[in-house]
């Protein structure tokens, strides 16, 4: 017995490690094959052309009609089947056997209400709108993956769903896509976002919570307007709002464990027009963020209490609105450990071990979190920084620009993750 047990453990260990080595070997061959195809000059020119077309005609959330048409035209010419409309302008394409397992890849489609200040040949043609968050590249990378996968469809051991999702920039497009049944039966999902702080050729992510859960609020404090010389005859909402906003800061500094990450930010305040008038009303609003859903509910509850009670202290009244219909709160973005490990392994074989980085947790939000709540999900970022090209400007900057060399890397990354996921999990279905 004493000999038998270690022997059994040892043989299990040997079996597993050689199996893993074999799997990694196949995965790296596959990743390299896909990368070589994507870097082919004809493929590269096509994927750049797609990205530039989307870039020139940016559309805001749930208005992505032209972008959606372009996606469908490209899918038609590749001979790829798709469902449309899903969540108004969204498109969900399918490649493979039509059977389980189903693995999804996601690209968001919408632009931002921002004037592009980069002067280049394919600058935005629409005044006041710009792809300053790289969703044009996400669409091009996913269409690139469609082309790579369609050429290998006979080899797919299941089905890849390519999800072109509308309205990521505050419209909760992911929520609406799920509600429309766009991802029914999907076993796991992967999403990729460009990252101008990382050099082209690198990828990054982290297991567990990666991005914050976020919510928005707006508040109106109503007092009683009057002459500035007689404050005792009015009820000053400016003083009430000032102390309320200062009190809101104590929720994080005095009520939150200092080792836990939470944010409350008031981003605007409006009230009053003249130096000698006490106004009737002051309005303000902001966002709150946490890395746990409990944290998010706590902040929401306390924001309401603090505003209402502080207003009452100053003999004013308050209305707090969390805009859950229009500006739906986003859950915490959590990377599933198993999907994360899979993507990391495939990613390293694609870009090389030293070009994978552990990404820090940031308190930004992303509606991909609606997927991560419903199914195992992983989100990675892909570097687009090249100082020569000045593609190191932050996301949402009017100077945002990408290094298009990242497009073939992203396309093959998507395709390699999906194909190898189906290879690894097909036996379980």
Ligand X SMILES: *[C@@H]1O[C@H](CO)[C@@H](O)[C@H](O)[C@H]1NC(C)=O
Enumerate the known binding-site residues.
133, 135, 169, 193, 396
Which CB atom, from 26 or from 120, has the smaller least distance to ligand X?
A: 120
Distance separating alpha carbons of residues 74 and 67, to the nearest angstrom: 11
Place of tokens 């070589």: 36
Least Cβ distance, residue 405 to ligand X (angstroms): 6
User: Which residue's Cβ lies closest to ligand X?
Assistant: 386
User: Binding of ligand X at residue 41 (CB under 6 A)?
Assistant: no
Which CB atom, from 361 or from 389, has the smaller least distance to ligand X?
A: 389
CB atoms near residue 272 (< 10 Å): 18
Distance separating alpha carbons of residues 196 and 381, to the nearest angstrom: 10
Which CB atom, from 152 or from 390, has the smaller least distance to ligand X?
A: 390
Which CB atom, from 200 or from 242, has the smaller least distance to ligand X?
A: 200
Write out the binding residues for ligand X, residues 195-224 only, by CB under 6 A: 200
Q: Which of these segments, 18-26, 97-105, 347-355, 385-393, binds ligand X (CB under 6 A)?
A: 385-393
User: Binding of ligand X at residue 388 (CB under 6 A)?
Assistant: yes
144: left (phi over 0), alpha (psi -120 to 50) or beta: alpha
Which CB atom, from 273 or from 388, has the smaller least distance to ligand X?
A: 388
Place of tokens 């970022």: 381
Least Cβ distance, residue 388 to ligand X (angstroms): 4
Which CB atom, from 353 or from 387, has the smaller least distance to ligand X?
A: 387
Give all strands (DSSP E) within 97-155, no chain letters.
102-108
Distance separating alpha carbons of residues 26 and 30, to the nearest angstrom: 6
Determine the size of the site formed for ligand X (CB under 6 A): 4
Which CB atom, from 159 or from 386, has the smaller least distance to ligand X?
A: 386
Least Cβ distance, residue 130 to ligand X (angstroms): 22
Site string for ligand X, 335-374 (x = CB under 6 A): ----------------------------------------
Which CB atom, from 78 or from 389, has the smaller least distance to ligand X?
A: 389
Least Cβ distance, residue 44 to ligand X (angstroms): 13
Q: Whose CA is closest to 362, among 350, 379, 345?
A: 379
Structure tokens given for 413: 């990354």
Place of tokens 């290998």: 152
Distance separating alpha carbons of residues 181 and 393, to the nearest angstrom: 37
Distance separating alpha carbons of residues 194 and 278, to the nearest angstrom: 48
- The DSSP code sequence of 272-323 is ---TTEE-SEEEEEEEEEESSHHHHHHHHHHHHHHHHHHHHHTT-EEEEE--
Q: Which of these segments, 59-67, 69-77, 301-309, 383-391, binds ligand X (CB under 6 A)?
A: 383-391
User: Binding of ligand X at residue 389 (CB under 6 A)?
Assistant: yes
Least Cβ distance, residue 213 to ligand X (angstroms): 36
Cis peptide before 47 (omega within 30 of 0): no
Q: Which three-class secondary structure state does DSSP give residue 213?
A: strand
Facing residues of 148 across strands? none
Measured N-to-C along each axis, helices 41-56 and 4-39 cross at an angle, to the nearest 10 degrees, of 70
Place of tokens 């999990």: 425
The dihedral through the CA atoms of 391, 392, 394, 395 has a sign that is: positive
User: Binding of ligand X at residue 386 (CB under 6 A)?
Assistant: yes
Q: Which of these segments, 40-48, 127-135, 212-220, 381-389, binds ligand X (CB under 6 A)?
A: 381-389
User: Binding of ligand X at residue 300 (CB under 6 A)?
Assistant: no
Q: Which of these segments, 130-138, 372-380, 382-390, 415-423, binds ligand X (CB under 6 A)?
A: 382-390
List of residues contacting ligand X (CB under 6 A): 200, 386, 388-389
């Amino acid at each position: 017995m004493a000999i038998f047990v270690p022997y059994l453990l040892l043989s299990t260990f040997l079996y597993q490690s050689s199996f893993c080595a074999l799997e990694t070997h196949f995965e790296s061959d596959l990743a390299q094959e896909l990368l070589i195809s994507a870097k082919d000059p004809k493929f590269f020119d096509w994927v750049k052309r797609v990205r530039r077309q989307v870039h020139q005609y940016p559309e805001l959330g749930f208005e992505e009609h032209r972008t959606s048409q372009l996606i469908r035209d490209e899918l038609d010419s590749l001979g790829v089947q798709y469902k449309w409309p899903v969540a108004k302008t969204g498109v969900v394409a399918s490649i493979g056997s039509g059977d389980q397992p189903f693995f999804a890849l996601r690209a968001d489609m919408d632009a931002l209400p921002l004037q592009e200040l980069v002067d280049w040949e394919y600058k935005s043609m629409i005044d006041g709108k710009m792809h300053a968050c790289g969703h044009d590249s996400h669409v091009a990378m996913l269409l690139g993956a469609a082309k790579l996968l369609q050429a290998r469809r006979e080899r797919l051991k299941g089905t890849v769903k390519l999800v072109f999702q509308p309205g990521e920039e505050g419209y909760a497009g992911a929520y609406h896509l799920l509600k429309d049944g766009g991802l029914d039966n999907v076993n796991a999902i992967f999403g990729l976002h460009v990252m101008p702080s990382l050099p082209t050729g690198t990828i990054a992510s982290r297991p567990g919570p990666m991005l914050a859960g976020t919510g928005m609020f707006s508040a109106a404090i109503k007092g009683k307007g009057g002459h500035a010389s007689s404050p005792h005859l009015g009820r000053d909402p400016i003083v009430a709002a000032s102390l309320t906003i200062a009190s809101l800061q104590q929720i994080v500094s005095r009520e939150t464990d200092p080792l836990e990450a939470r944010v409350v930010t008031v981003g605007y305040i409006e009230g009053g027009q003249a130096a000698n008038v006490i106004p009737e009303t002051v309005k303000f609003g902001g966002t709150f963020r946490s890395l746990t859903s409990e944290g998010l509910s706590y902040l929401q509850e306390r924001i309401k209490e603090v505003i209402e009670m502080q207003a009452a202290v100053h003999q004013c009244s308050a209305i707090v609105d969390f805009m859950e219909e229009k500006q739906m709160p986003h859950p915490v973005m959590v990377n599933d450990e198993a999907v994360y490990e899979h993507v990391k392994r495939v990613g390293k074989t694609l870009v090389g071990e030293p070009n994978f980085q552990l990404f820090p947790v940031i308190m930004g939000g992303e509606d991909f979190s609606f997927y991560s709540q419903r199914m195992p999900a992983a989100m990675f970022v892909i570097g687009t920084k090249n100082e020569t090209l000045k593609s190191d400007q932050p996301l949402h900057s009017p100077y945002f620009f990408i290094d298009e060399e990242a497009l073939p890397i992203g396309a093959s990354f998507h395709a390699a993750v999906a194909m190898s996921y189906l290879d690894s999990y097909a036996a379980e279905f």
